[in-house]
Amino acid sequence: MSCELVERDLDAYLDRELDAESSAAVREHVRTCAACRRQFAQREALTRLVRGAPYYSAPDRLRARVFAQSTRSNSMRRVLTWAAAAVLVLSVGAGMTVWRPASSRGNVIANDVVSDHVRSLMADHLFDVQSTDLHTVKPWFLGKLDFSPPVVDLASIGFPLVGGRLDYVGGRPVAALVYQRQKHTINVFVSPERDDPSTRDLVLTVRGFNLHHWIHDGMSFWAVSDLNGAELSEFASALQAP
Amino acid sequence: MRPRVFEETVLPHLDAAFNYARWLTRNDIEAEDVVQDACVRAMRFFSSLRDDDARAWLFTIVRNTWYSRVSRRGHVAVGSALNGGQDQWPDNALDPEERLLQQHTVTVVRAALEQLPVDFREVIVLREIEGLSYKEIAAVVGVPIGTVMSRLARARDRLQTILTLASPKETPR
């Protein structure tokens, strides 16, 4: 691979957006070419620097205003829904079966996982135990759950453990482990594997959040975050093979 | 699947929406106005939200809201990088391996980002700060993935140049 080609692909390589074959070609070239290696190092440094740029959180008054607007528009929608339902009942009359959308258990769980994640961020209840030390987090679950969740710290690859709490998924208590990637929070829900086999190894997006699900050593894991798919995959594979 | 509720689907991304708007506008008050308008639109078009990617969808609405405000005002200072955008930054003063990217405070990084043309600034913010994939950025900005790739590379080139020039001249060699 020539330097020109590598230069073209270097950013995509850095962003893990290249396919495996091109990635390998860039990696090999960068290993042997000092100039491209230097350029790559500069790009990495730049990326680190920019990720430290300010993150502007929404001011409380904006949050309050938007919330008030949505509540108003909801009550309007509810009135319209009732009106539509009334029309339907009148026109169809008796003898109608209730229709419900099919939903697998995996879907229900995935929805629960996202709702828990959102709640943990909105209600400011991210931790019951706040610690970056896995020897503090792991024992904390003792006596609170009938299983012991595996806890690992991935700070060395940029996903520090920041704490844990108890939560509920599918009506069952689970261990929630909290990790951080820059400004993004990752919740990992761990419980003994009791779900049906069809929910094994899933990668999906629900309401804008990325989810990874896998089974390991008889435990079920759900990782959820607003982190992009590639980085969450990296996190999920690191957790599976620490 | 349960019916989707605006509060649960869109509001969790309010911080992200504000952050993006703040970087677009470079102004707190204007960013608030843009996000509030965008949320009103988002509520109205909520039923059009498909494929579950609420965050990218909200970004798109924030972006459109901002662009329509800017064009309504007849504002021309948006500063697109894409027409006649030659670097005004001289290359000859550089000594990249020595001085590059050292000891920059957050302030310097922010100032550097803010002086990028908005087309460049937004891809950097969406990629580095919001962590979007190229595909998601392509959807928000409304360009092909290949364009995202090349725009991001050019934006980083430009940023690298600005930061190199901004690094302290007295850095020991």
SS3 state of residue B109 = helix
pLDDT of residue A28: 92
Residue B90 lies in a domain: no
pLDDT of residue B25: 93
Q: Which residues on B lie below 8 Å from A78 (Cβ)?
A: none
Report d(CA A174, CA A225) in Å as an integer: 17
Residue B173 lies in a domain: no
Q: Which residues on A lie below 8 Å from B127 (Cβ)?
A: 15
Do both B120 and B62 map to the same domain?
Answer: no
pLDDT tier at A216, thresholds 50, 70, 90: confident
Q: Which residues on A lie below 8 Å from B17 (Cβ)?
A: 58
Q: What is the ipTM of this complex?
A: 0.76
**Average pLDDT along chain B:** 78
Report d(CA A85, CA A88) in Å as an integer: 5
Tokens 């949050």 — which residue? A63
Is the separation of the CB atoms in B98 and B165 below 8 Å? no
Most B CBs within 10 A among A7, A22, A40, A56, hence the mutation to make, goes to A56
**Phi/psi at A57 (5° precision):** -85, 150
Report d(CA A228, CA B168) in Å as an integer: 35
* Model pLDDT for residues B40-94, shown as the tens digit of each residue: 888 888 877 765 678 888 999 999 999 888 877 765 444 444 433 333 333 334 4
Residue B21 lies in a domain: yes
Nearest CB neighbour to A53, from listed B36, B39, B129: B129
pLDDT tier at A168, thresholds 50, 70, 90: confident
- For the cut 50, the answer to whether the pLDDT of residue B99 exceeds it is no
pLDDT tier at A218, thresholds 50, 70, 90: confident
Do both B65 and B34 map to the same domain?
Answer: yes
Nearest CB neighbour to B128, from listed A50, A69, A121: A50
Residue B82 lies in a domain: no
pLDDT of residue A160: 92
Domains contained in chain B, number? 2
Most B CBs within 10 A among A9, A16, A66, A187, hence the mutation to make, goes to A66
pLDDT tier at B106, thresholds 50, 70, 90: confident
- For the cut 90, the answer to whether the pLDDT of residue B4 exceeds it is no
Mean pLDDT of A120-145: 82
* Model pLDDT for residues A27-74, shown as the tens digit of each residue: 999 999 999 999 999 999 899 888 888 889 899 889 888 888 777 766
**What is the Cβ-side half-sphere exposure of residue B157, based on CA atoms within 13 angstroms?**
17
Nearest CB neighbour to B133, from listed A45, A53, A229: A229
Residue B80 lies in a domain: no
Residue B1 lies in a domain: no
Do both B101 and B154 map to the same domain?
Answer: yes
Residue B158 lies in a domain: yes
Q: Do A58 and B55 touch (CB under 8 A)?
A: no
Residue span of the structural domain in which B134 resides: 96-166
Helix %, strand %, coil % of chain B (to 5) = 65, 0, 35
Residues paired with A169 in a beta bridge: A172
- For the cut 50, the answer to whether the pLDDT of residue B6 exceeds it is yes
- For the cut 50, the answer to whether the pLDDT of residue A78 exceeds it is yes
Is the separation of the CB atoms in A166 and A173 below 8 Å? yes
Write the CB contacts of B165 (distance below 8 Å, at least 6 apart in sequence): B89, B93, B94
Per-window interface: A 115-134 vs B, CB < 8 A: 115, 118, 121-122
pLDDT of residue B2: 44
Q: Do B18 and A59 touch (CB under 8 A)?
A: yes
User: A71 or B136: whose pLDDT is higher?
Assistant: B136
Q: Which domains does chain A have, with CATH numbers?
A: 3-51 (no CATH), 105-240 (3.30.200.100)
Nearest CB neighbour to A231, from listed B8, B11, B131: B131
Q: Least CA distance to A73: which residue of chain B?
A: B43
Write the CB contacts of B135 (distance below 8 Å, at least 6 apart in sequence): B145
SS3 state of residue A70 = helix
pLDDT tier at A2, thresholds 50, 70, 90: confident
Choose from A17-21, A80-84, A166-170 the range with maximum mean pLDDT: A17-21
Residue B78 lies in a domain: no
pLDDT tier at A131, thresholds 50, 70, 90: confident
Report d(CA A231, CA A233) in Å as an integer: 5
Tokens 């965050």 — which residue? B55
Report d(CA A198, CA A200) in Å as an integer: 6
Mean pLDDT of B121-149: 92
Tokens 């435990």 — which residue? A219
pLDDT tier at B17, thresholds 50, 70, 90: very high
Q: Least CA distance to A204: which residue of chain B?
A: B52
Size of interface A-B (CB pairs under 8 A): 151
- For the cut 70, the answer to whether the pLDDT of residue A202 exceeds it is yes
Helices and strands in chain A, H and E counts:
7, 7
CATH number for position B147? 1.10.10.10
- For the cut 80, the answer to whether the pLDDT of residue B20 exceeds it is yes
Do both B108 and B145 map to the same domain?
Answer: yes
Q: Which residues on B lie below 8 Å from A100 (Cβ)?
A: none
Q: Please report how the helices B134-141 and B145-166 are oriented relative to each other, as an axis angle in degrees rounded to 10.
A: 100
CATH number for position B41? 1.10.1740
Q: Do A207 and B18 touch (CB under 8 A)?
A: no
Q: Do A70 and B43 touch (CB under 8 A)?
A: yes
